[in-house]
Structure 1
Amino acid sequence: MPKRLRLTRRFPAAMSNDAYRTLSRFADEAEITTDEALTFLFEHFGSVTHKDNLTHRLRLFKAELEDRKA
């Protein structure tokens, strides 16, 4: 029997406009809500990311972070 989807944890989250548009587009294409899309991505994080690509992209993001905050 599949686990029941209960969205019991809430947290304030801020994201860039680009990130929100990407999340919304993903949710729309999958025909689910943005809450369900985030739940899916985090529950399946290991299988939807490529470890080497993730490490590289995170390094680039962190290098640009200060400039993006300005």
Structure 2
Amino acid sequence: MPKRLRLTRRFPVSMTNDAYRMLHRFAAEAGLSPDEALCFLFEHFNSVTHPENLTVRLRLFKAELEDRKA
């Protein structure tokens, strides 16, 4: 029997406009609400990310982070 989707945890999230648009685009294409889309992505994180690509992308993001904050 599948687990019931209970959205019991809430947290304030700040994100860039690009990230917000991508989340909403992904949710719309998948036929999900943004909350459901985030649940899906995090519950299946290891299977929807490529470990090597994730490491490279994270390194690039962290290198640019200070410049993006300014």
Q: TM-score range by the shorter chain?
A: over 0.9
Q: Give TM-score scaled by structure 2 length.
A: 0.99
Question: Matched residues in 2 for 1:13 and 1:28: separation?
Answer: 19
**Structure 1 stretches lacking a partner, 5+ long:** none
Moved over 6 A (4+): none
Q: Give TM-score scaled by structure 1 length.
A: 0.99
Same amino acid, percent of matched pairs: 79
Aligned position for 2:9: 9
**Structure 2 stretches lacking a partner, 5+ long:** none
CA shift at 1:53, angstroms?
0.1
Aligned position for 1:52: 52
Aligned position for 1:66: 66
Q: Size of the alignment, in residue pairs?
A: 70
For the aligned residue pairs, the C-alpha RMSD in angstroms reads: 0.3
Amino acid aligned to 2:26? F
Partner SS state of residue 15, structure 1:
coil
C-alpha offsets along residues 32-51 of structure 1, whole Å, 9 cap, x if unaligned? 10000000000000000000
CA shift at 1:58, angstroms?
0.2
